[in-house]
Amino acid sequence: MSYLYETHLHTSESSACAVSSAEQQAIAYKERGYTGIIITDHFVNGYTTCPKSLQWEQKMKHFVSGYENAKKAGDKIGLDVFFGWEFTIRGADFLTYGLDVNFLISRPRLDLMNIEDYSNLVRECGGYIAQAHPYREAYYIDHSFPVSHTLLDGIEVYNSYDSDYINNKALAYALKYDLPMQSGTDSHGRGERYFAGISLETKAESIQDIINAIKAKKVRLV
């Protein structure tokens, strides 16, 4: 038996690019046979719905609303929901897992960090960081290539929004530096044409179980 997890998903509560609510997303993934999902809404330095006028703690409460609504829905329908976020630096995006809202609330200048300081902080505090769609090209991205592999715990080698050419470049980078790999839909709504993720042989009881499986390269890319 295998257990399917989404690693990259947005909700309309917190991500300005999303078209489906957290509850709608949870239901859609349950219907498709997923065991769990990781909510990775855009952080407040990315494409967020969070008003800039709010104070930091209020911003963080707004930011986690997508996760909280998904968790409530997941508890009702039997879908595991885990917390994460997508941190943006100069257009490059970094999936971050293993830390909680208290980590965010206690660091009111987190959104201003460069990638070196952010990576060091996340890892020192026991978190996990993976670059999302590292070769994606868009007007808002300053550079279309991965940051140094020394700053990453893993890398997204399949993103359903990118072409095979772009995904294969990420795969080649992962293989070159022996980085743990993951796959994600980058879901913005329940009507996605393609769904992706990772498959585990053992059910994850926590986000740390997923992190450990990715790092140990004991996941199947879907």
Over residues 191-216, the pLDDT tens digits come to 998 999 999 999 999 999 999 999 99
Give the pairing type, strands 220-221 and 198-200: antiparallel
Centroid of chain to Cα 135: 16
The torsion of the CA quartet 86, 134, 46, 16, rounded to 10 degrees, works out to -80
Confidence (pTM): 0.97
Q: Where do the domains of the chain lie, and which CATH numbers do they carry?
A: 3-221 (3.20.20.140)
CA distance 132 to 208: 19
Q: For the segment 12-21, what is each residue's pLDDT rounded down to a tens digit?
A: 999 999 999 9
Among all chains, which residue has been given the structure tokens 């995904």?
167
> What spatial distance separates the first Cα and last Cα of the chain, rounded to whole Å?
15
CA distance 82 to 68: 10
And the tokens for 67?
Answer: 């996760």
